[in-house]
Structure 1
């Protein structure tokens, strides 16, 4: 399938996608800071420069976009055009993610990955529960954490509820 916009427009659109300070990253950082936790942003002394590093707790938090990291959720879909390029790019991102996590674990750090789908389109009460879970993990958690979004059937129920409310 051909792209629906010309290459100059696509290039401009893609260059506008941020690699840091995304909306979901800013929302999570603001909530954790408001709850009293302090962290280092994109800490250069650690492999992979985690989005947030909690030095005293030896906990690193990554906030991953579902598309760019090839997450197995409804928000990821391999583009229909230039498939070989996108598959190679996303596979390289996944490999780099695995190597980064392994390096951090080797240094004795715990890691958490918060996926975009866990935060996207969620009401404030669900986000506060996510923040509470992450906060508890940072302070007391002993293993690694992977916070994912709802399953496709949960999304369908949420969408149906939203449509009825409107």
Structure 2
């Protein structure tokens, strides 16, 4: 049986969820730094305050948590409908997904390349995430010539 938290315990857990320098961001940044890529973190000059920005190549990277950004929404949503406070969570995650799409469109319109990674992908396969970033950097370099 799953652990049932009191509202106070749940509130305390939720208060400790960070918005900056999360484990997944640090993993990705460390790998980029090791390979000699320089970046800005939590760049507030762009819409959505991207987690990582490689300004030299106009690349923005978001490290998205599966729950709050609604990974596999068609599976998660029905599960949330059966949970406590379902209206709140469905509304919150739906709005997060809408905002992510709006931010992607704005950044693309401004000429940025947007990359989004799921947290589990960063944790389990950081080298694949780096390969994706390096391919985008390569394309940006080729496009300059």
TM-score between both structures, scaled by the size of structure 2: 0.84
SS in 2 for 1:111: strand
Alignment coverage as a number of residue pairs = 136
Kindly report the root-mean-square deviation, in angstroms, between the aligned alpha carbons of the 2 structures. 2.3
What are the Cα deviations for residues 39-90 of structure 1, in whole angstroms up to 9, with x where unaligned?
11111111111111111101111110010000117x9565411110000000
TM-score between both structures, scaled by the size of structure 1: 0.74
What pairs up with 1:137-148 in 2 under 5 angstroms?
Answer: 137-140=136-139
Tell me whether 1:54 sits opposite 2:57 in the alignment. no
Unmatched runs of 5 consecutive residues or more in structure 2: none
Unmatched runs of 5 consecutive residues or more in structure 1: 143-166
Tell me whether 1:89 sits opposite 2:92 in the alignment. yes
Runs (4 or more) in structure 1 with deviation over 3 Å come to 75-79
Larger proportion of helix: 2
Contact 1:69/1:90 (<8 A) preserved: yes
Structure number with higher relative contact order (C-alpha < 8 Å, ≥ 6 residues apart): 2
